[in-house]
Chains A and B, each alone.
Chain A
Amino acid sequence: DAGVTQSPTHLIKTRGQQVTLRCSPKSGHDTVSWYQQALGQGPQFIFQYYEEEERQRGNFPDRFSGHQFPNYSSELNVNALLLGDSALYLCASSLSGQARYGYTFGSGTRLTVV
């Protein structure tokens, strides 16, 4: 049973460019959340998708946008990249209403903006 799959694993982009990160949730899960983890920090909530809609958003600018597809997979898009966007981007999946089983995280995408 595959867990959460994220692609690509590493990415280097230039300031001002746009990037798309992808996430396939664990089998049976219907909810996807995205987090940003800077070096030495805990993950920070970006937003969550359920039933193809953004259900909640953290304190991130509109440059961060996302999408969820009918098969529950999700994309995170970041426009006009800044040096400060360099971080590990994590995707977490869950089954709505089943928080007691925890949220399953992928291994992340390491984004470096130069």
Chain B
Amino acid sequence: SQTIHQWPATLVQPVGSPLSLECTVEGTSNPNLYWYRQAAGRGLQLLFYSVGIGQISSEVPQNLSASRPQDRQFILSSKKLLLSDSGFYLCAWSVQGGTDTQYFGPGTRLTVL
């Protein structure tokens, strides 16, 4: 069966510091991968998605970037965090090329102080 992992689970960082959040998927090959941000426990904002290694699409111009160095690894980064980067970050995967469901990881709670 497939599983998706995210770490760290929680993170507190000062403004201006760098960020690296990691997401990995097990039990499947060549998945679509997604990064979402959820603010204030409500709506989801799609940040990035990837259909393959090195292929990243950005949905919203911002202070963040994403990379996919391996087939089942998706990384969210920032060089300098802003207060507005605080939120709950969710990674998800889906089967490529179909109508299939997205499956979500447990999330990372980021607080920027």
Query: A and B: real partners?
Result: no
